[in-house]
């Protein structure tokens, strides 16, 4: 089965090396039909004093934040309605697109948009799937929604999927798909998707 060696300059912490190993394993498995336990990733470290580029010693590039953790923390802040904290995860030019091509650029717009649709909504997550993309990381998260309609009746089990673009450690774009409109059409609840 595949054995991959990755050489990095010394100085990366254990979590960064773990994330690099997992990303390398996932990349190999996207090309080679092998179970994760059959892919061996060896991360070698080179001492900085033993590395020169252009005749000069170099420092390693800083690790990027985990894009899935950024999304998870943003969604947790939104669920708690801690908009100030949630805004800290957003990049310049942030845009979100909800079902029906509803486009917003502020969290206050989102809160106003959601107001007539439900009293509150929470998410139960199945997975967060980060997809490497060079300078922009993509994260898909999906699961089900639960909460209360405007009349106070509870709902649950509504499917959703969110797609996030992470650039320079901040959320640049969020796209949302869910089955709320289907449920509303069948139950006559809320004010749409």
Nearest to 1 by CA among 43, 34, 25: 34
What would the two tokens of residue 143 be? Answer: 């699961």
How far apart are the C-alpha atoms of 1 and 41, rounded to whole Å?
11
**Residues 6+ away with beta carbon under 8 Å from 168:** 91, 135
- Residue by residue, pLDDT tens for the chain (193 residues) are 889 999 998 889 999 999 999 999 988 998 999 999 999 999 999 988 888 888 888 888 888 899 999 999 999 999 999 999 999 999 999 999 999 899 999 999 999 998 888 899 999 999 999 987 778 999 999 999 999 999 999 999 999 999 999 999 999 999 999 998 888 877 766 554 4
**Residues 6+ away with beta carbon under 8 Å from 62:** none
- Its pTM surpasses 0.85: no
How far apart are the C-alpha atoms of 49 and 24, rounded to whole Å?
26
SS3 54: coil
Radius of gyration of the CA atoms of the chain, in A: 21
Domains of the chain (ranges, CATH numbers): 3-57 (3.30.429.10), 67-187 (3.10.450.50)
How far apart are the C-alpha atoms of 178 and 6, rounded to whole Å?
40
pLDDT of residue 193: 45
pLDDT of residue 67: 94
pLDDT of residue 189: 60
């Amino acid at each position: 089965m595949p054995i991959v060696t990755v050489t990095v300059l010394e100085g990366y912490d254990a979590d960064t090396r773990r994330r690099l190993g997992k990303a390398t394993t996932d990349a190999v498995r996207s090309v080679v039909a092998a179970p994760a336990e059959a892919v061996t990733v060896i991360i070698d470290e080179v001492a900085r004093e033993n590395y020169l580029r252009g005749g000069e010693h170099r420092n390693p590039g800083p690790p990027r934040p985990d894009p899935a953790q950024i999304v998870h923390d943003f969604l947790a802040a939104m669920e708690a309605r801690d908009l100030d904290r949630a805004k800290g995860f957003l990049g310049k030019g942030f845009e979100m697109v909800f079902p029906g091509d509803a486009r917003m650029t502020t969290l206050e717009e989102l809160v106003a948009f959601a107001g007539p649709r439900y009293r509150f909504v929470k998410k139960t997550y199945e997975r967060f799937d980060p997809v490497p993309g060079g300078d922009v990381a993509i994260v898909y998260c999906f699961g089900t929604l639960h909460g209360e309609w405007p009349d106070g009746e509870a709902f649950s089990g509504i499917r959703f999927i969110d797609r996030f673009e992470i650039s320079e450690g901040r959320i640049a774009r969020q796209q949302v798909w869910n089955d709320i409109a289907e449920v509303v059409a069948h139950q006559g609840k809320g004010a749409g998707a």
